[in-house]
């Protein structure tokens, strides 16, 4: 193959693969529906991206062209029709990642939440320790400004995405499972099938499986050695002893692990959620055999992941955080973490629901999580790959929210609404296009200081 063409190149996982093939010397180009920061960055790196359905722009020499697509792209898209009907070599994104990781020491992080931060921190530990790794990440590392790390070391860190059962293309040597919650029920149908998929993934681990204590995956599901981790449960193999935040919300703890106690860890990204994720990342690194002191030092220099508890404004009177949370469990964890970082302050949350099916399936759980803020500003549902479902709107969540204040508005009204809004701590939540508001909100708030 000389050419690699991506249909849906702007996705976080797809863009990492595009960068990988560009790094390897292939001719890389692709289509995406709308421009974004990711696609603009790809273009700056010399990758051609277009935003109209243009089958004529696909390389004509199909014998020398690999086409990679994401299942988020509709099958009736003209470009998809062309490559399937004309006999191009076509691979789904997950299969492509599986092929790349074969023959390498694959370290995979799976879970319905926490996997992006945990995999990014794992990659940072390996990089900072000098061991080195390549990494395909589901977010932009704030340390490196990218979702792809490249190394000549035959070790690869991969975020193992459960969407569309993608993670079943991976056969890792060491894997972590951070959480097994009901999600993607449009794909799985029910929670039992979610659990079944994670058990199948566990069965594909060859060396050590490190599961969050309490997840429904155990030794009976895999031939791998099974260890557990937890935030503070002393029944786990890896857990934090006396974790506590400092005045800025950065957590300090001692790590109990099978090799003893690693004292004096400080997590470089604030919030208890990042502390818990750091235990999982440390578990991978220590199980692999990295030096404990090097692991501790790297955790301290970790800056986090863009859109994961990312602080944009932070003063005693006005603060703004953005977070990717789009599942009730993620929202609940993020809100409690933000409360820890800013104790006693008034919390206003803007939430954009992601997918009609997820809203339909978890409306009561969303309402319960969002009721923990002081004021909720709820936006319309971001449809992503879905067509509207009759009767499914943000009102399904809104009606059951018991926060002291709440308002339901369209995203087009948001900036005007915020102009005169009294704010203390503001957070934006969501996996849709709410990230387009980060810069204008940040500019507006800085003008108030």
Nearest Cα neighbor of 251 from 225, 221, 271, 280 is 271
Domain 102-300 homologous superfamily, CATH: Mur-like, catalytic domain (3.40.1190.10)
Query: What pLDDT was estimated at residue 360?
Result: 96
Q: What angle do CA 320, 248, 130 make, to 5 degrees?
A: 100
- pLDDT tens per residue across span 415-428: 999 999 999 999 99
Statement: residue 379 has pLDDT above 90: yes
pLDDT-derived band at 254, boundaries 50, 70, 90: very high
Coil, helix or strand at residue 52: coil
CATH code 3.40.50.720 for 3-93: yes
Q: What percent of the chain has pLDDT over 70?
A: 100
Distance CA 64, CA 5 (A): 11
Residue 186, pLDDT score: 85
Report the pLDDT averaged over residues 207-223: 97
Q: List the Cα angle 166/22/39 in 5-degree steps.
A: 70
Model pLDDT for residues 285-298, shown as the tens digit of each residue:
999 999 999 999 99
Domain ranges of the chain: 3-93, 102-300, 310-448
Confidence of residue 247 (pLDDT cuts 50, 70, 90): confident
Identify the pLDDT of residue 77: 96
Q: Which residue has the higher pLDDT, 71 or 413?
A: 413
Contact residues for 305 (Cβ-Cβ < 8 A; gap 6+): 116, 117, 120, 137, 139, 140, 141, 142
DSSP 382: B
- pTM reported for the whole predicted model: 0.88
Fold annotation for 310-448 = 3.90.190
> CA dist 304 to 270, 273, 413, Å?
9, 11, 31
Q: Which residues pair with 429 in a beta bridge?
A: 323, 351
CA gap 176, 88 in Å, rounded = 35
Percent of the chain at pLDDT above 90?
Answer: 92
In angstroms, rounded to a whole number, what is the distance separating the alpha carbons of residues 49 and 43? 6
pLDDT of residue 216: 97
- 71-88 pLDDT, tens digit each: 889 899 999 999 999 999
Instruction: Supply the mean pLDDT for the chain.
Output: 95
Q: What digits encode the pLDDT tens for the residues 20-70?
A: 999 999 999 999 998 988 999 999 999 999 999 999 999 999 999 999 999
pLDDT recorded at residue 385: 79
pLDDT at 395: 98
pLDDT score of 30: 98
* Confidence band, pLDDT 50/70/90 cuts, at residue 108: very high
pLDDT of residue 98: 94
Q: Is the pLDDT reported for residue 439 higher than 90?
A: yes
pLDDT value of position 164? 85
How many CB atoms lie under 10 A from the CB of residue 53?
17
pLDDT band at 248 (very low <50, low <70, confident <90, very high): confident
**Mean pLDDT in residue range 312-323:** 94
Radius of gyration of the chain (CA): 22
Question: What is the per-residue pLDDT across 269-278, written as a single tens digit (0 to 9) for each?
Answer: 999 999 999 9
């Amino acid at each position: 193959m000389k050419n690699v063409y991506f249909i849906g190149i702007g996705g976080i996982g797809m863009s990492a693969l595009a960068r990988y093939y560009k790094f390897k010397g292939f001719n890389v180009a692709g289509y995406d529906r709308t421009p974004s920061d990711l696609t603009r960055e790809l273009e700056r790196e010399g990758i051609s991206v277009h935003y109209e359905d243009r089958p004529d722009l696909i390389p004509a020499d199909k014998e020398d062209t690999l086409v990679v697509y994401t299942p988020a792209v509709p099958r009736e898209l003209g470009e998809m029709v062309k490559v399937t009907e004309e006999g191009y070599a076509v691979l789904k994104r997950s299969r492509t990642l599986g092929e790349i990781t074969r023959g390498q020491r694959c370290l995979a992080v799976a879970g319905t939440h926490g996997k992006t931060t945990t995999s990014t921190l794992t990659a940072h530990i390996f990089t900072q320790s000098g061991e080195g790794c390549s990494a395909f990440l589901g977010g932009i590392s704030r340390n490196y400004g990218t979702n792809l790390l490249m190394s000549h070391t035959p070790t690869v860190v991969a975020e193992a995405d459960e969407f569309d059962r993608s993670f079943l293309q991976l056969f890792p040597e060491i894997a972590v499972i951070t959480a097994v919650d009901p999600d993607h029920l449009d794909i799985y149908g029910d929670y039992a099938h979610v659990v079944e998929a994670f058990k199948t993934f566990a069965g594909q681990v060859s060396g050590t499986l490190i599961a969050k204590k309490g997840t429904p995956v155990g030794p009976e599901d895999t031939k791998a050695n099974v260890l557990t981790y937890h935030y503070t449960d002393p029944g786990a193999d890896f857990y934090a002893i006396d974790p506590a935040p400092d005045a800025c919300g950065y957590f300090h703890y001692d790590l109990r692990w099978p090799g003893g106690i690693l004292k004096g860890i400080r997590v470089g990204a604030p919030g208890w959620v990042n502390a818990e994720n750091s235990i999982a990342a440390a578990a991978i690194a220590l199980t692999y055999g990295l030096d404990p002191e090097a692991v501790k030092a790297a955790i301290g220099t970790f800056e986090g992941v863009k859109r994961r508890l990312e602080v944009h404004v932070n003063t005693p009177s006005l603060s703004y955080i953005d977070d990717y949370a789009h599942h009730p469990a993620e929202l609940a964890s993020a809100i409690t973490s933000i409360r820890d970082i800013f104790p006693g302050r008034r919390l206003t949350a803007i939430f954009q629901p992601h997918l009609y099916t997820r809203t339909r399936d978890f409306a009561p759980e969303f309402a319960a999580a969002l009721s923990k803020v002081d004021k909720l500003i709820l936006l319309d549902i971001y449809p992503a790959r879905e067509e509207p479902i009759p009767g499914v709107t943000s009102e399904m969540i809104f009606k059951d929210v018991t926060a002291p204040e709440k308002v339901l508005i369209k995203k087009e009204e948001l900036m005007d609404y915020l102009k005169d809004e009294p704010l203390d701590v503001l957070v934006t939540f969501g996996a849709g296009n709410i990230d387009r508001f980060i810069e204008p909100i940040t500019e507006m708030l800085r003008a108030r200081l």
